Amino acid sequence: MTKKRVLVTGASRGIGRAVMRRLADDGYRVTGLARKAPEDLRADEEFHCIDLADLEATRALVTELAAEQPFYGLINNAAMSPVTSLDECSIQDMNDAAQLNLHAPLVLTQVLVPGMRAAREGRIVNLSSRAALGKVNRTAYSASKAGIIGMSRTFALELAEHNITVNVIAPGPISTELFRTASPPDHPRTKALMAAVPLKRVGSPEEIAHTVAFLLEERGGFMTGQTLYVDGGLTISAVHL
């Protein structure tokens, strides 16, 4: 039996790496994309190195991959986050965030959707962030992550008739290398963040991967156009940091 094929971006570390590993364990044929391959790449995982901000190179590579076998799933996880105050945020920061966080998911979706339409099934999961609701010093990031929610809802409406679902996962604080570097545990802002999380902890990449796996399986097929905040309850807390 041919395995269903899934594409995961930003798959070299953090959430993307956990998603790739979980979906491979679940029996999918998983293809990962990122600028660098993970050091622990397994024999059952396919990987291609690409700068996803290079949209034409990305389109060419994924078109070639899709010609080999159509994709059932697309996980748009790769992202970048300029850290700037309102006064410091530049148009270039906005453009850089949009290029990777919005434009690349658009290109990838455009390339893979024809195969999903032909198969009459597909699952698209776009990664947003709790920061889409607002976060200090993240103007460009918050704007692009809010944008992916609106874009996904529109995709969901257009693709529903083809049995293709489109959903969003918006993680809160997750224990990734990026989070640990940006939020040292002893920093006052990190301590305040942990105090604001009702579950009093950060999440793990594997918990996000589990949510992705739910959305991809057959029993997740009646959900589309939705945003799931996987954040330990932070979005319902009285304090937002």
Catalytic sites, residue numbers: 141
Non-local CB neighbours of 146 within 8 Å, separated by 6+ positions: 128, 132, 133
Residue that is written with structure tokens 């809010």 in the block: 146
Beta strands in 191-239 (DSSP E): 227-230
Length of the chain (residues)? 241
Distance CA(13)–CA(32), nearest Å, equals 11
Non-local CB neighbours of 3 within 8 Å, separated by 6+ positions: 27, 28, 29
Report the Cα 17 to chain-centroid distance in Å.
11
Q: Is the dihedral of CA 214, 218, 223, 224 positive or negative?
A: positive
